[in-house]
Amino acid sequence: MKFALKNKNLILFLLFFILLLFFIPANASEIRENITPPGKYIALTFDDGPHPGTTERLLDGLRQRNIRATFFLIGEEADANRELVSQIKADGHQIGNHTWSHAGLDALSDQEILREIGDTDQLLQSLAGPGEYWLRPPYGFIRPGSENLIQTPVITWSVDPRDWESRDAEKIFQAVINNAKPGDIILLHDIYAPSVEAALRIVDELSKQDYEFVTVSELLSLYDISPQAGVKYRGAS
């Protein structure tokens, strides 16, 4: 009887110990891969430019507010508006690659993918200086299995107000303000006047809420993420 009681205590102890194992992470890095920074950081990104008029207005507004953003440029547009590429660079924004002709990379051959990205990269290297120009694939698509062709990180987004569809500054502004959280990457297009108007209102409103605007590369770095070539990043949080 005495032996049985002792055995029961032993079993209870073992059960408790096994339960405890479930609540202690074996390795903290398995639970959380990145570190949450103390500030409220967020990244504005602008696709499809540079575009005469609207891009200038956006650059002026961002410069007045001392805000840095990220511009994913179409090769054809960069080629046709070279002075705007220089201005984006001079203002300290991050520049990225949005393919030469805004092609959906999921429907292209390996050779075509390399040309769309490579021609744009070459132009950006010559217009904005040597550097790594991260890819934003048009529509966010890359063909599964083609990741090894891409030499840089692939940046998509976590907030999409579908500005190209509504072309309505108030709707774009509300869609972003209602969905934004720290670590987000916001998708806008600086080829539409309402998007530019909304972007500057978004900067003013989120700044009031203590957000800090950073480039995509700064955002990932603040979250202790080391971006890898061919890997998609839609945000940092």
Binding site for Zn ion (CB under 5 A): 47-48, 138
H/E element, 143: none
Please pick, among 51, 121, 189, 190, the residue that the annotation labels catalytic.
Answer: 189
Considering Cα of 91, then 97, then 99, then 104, what sign does the dihedral take?
Answer: negative
Select the residue whose beta carbon is closest to Zn ion and give its number.
47
- Are 235 and 160 contacting, i.e. CB atoms less than 8 angstroms apart? no
- Tell me how far apart the alpha carbons of residues 91 and 106 are, in angstroms, rounded to a whole number: 33
204 as an active site residue: the answer is no
Distances 170 to 144, 153, 175 between C-alpha atoms, Å: 37, 32, 9
**Where does 2-161 have alpha helices with state H?**
2-23, 28-31, 54-65, 75-80, 82-90, 110-128
Helices 82-90 and 110-128, packing angle to 10 deg: 70
As measured in angstroms, the least distance from the Cβ of 160 to Zn ion is 11
Q: Give the 3-state secondary structure of residue 181.
A: coil
Place of tokens 């979250």: 223
Measured in degrees and rounded to the nearest 5, phi and psi for residue 125 equal -60, -40
190 as an active site residue: the answer is no
Helices 193-208 and 54-65, packing angle to 10 deg: 10
Instruction: Give the other-Cβ count within 10 Å of 92's Cβ.
Output: 13
Q: For Zn ion, give the closer residue by CB, 41 or 46.
A: 46
As measured in angstroms, the least distance from the Cβ of 45 to Zn ion is 10
As measured in angstroms, the least distance from the Cβ of 102 to Zn ion is 6
Q: For Zn ion, give the closer residue by CB, 41 or 192.
A: 192
As measured in angstroms, the least distance from the Cβ of 86 to Zn ion is 21
As measured in angstroms, the least distance from the Cβ of 74 to Zn ion is 7
What positions carry a catalytic annotation?
Answer: 47, 189
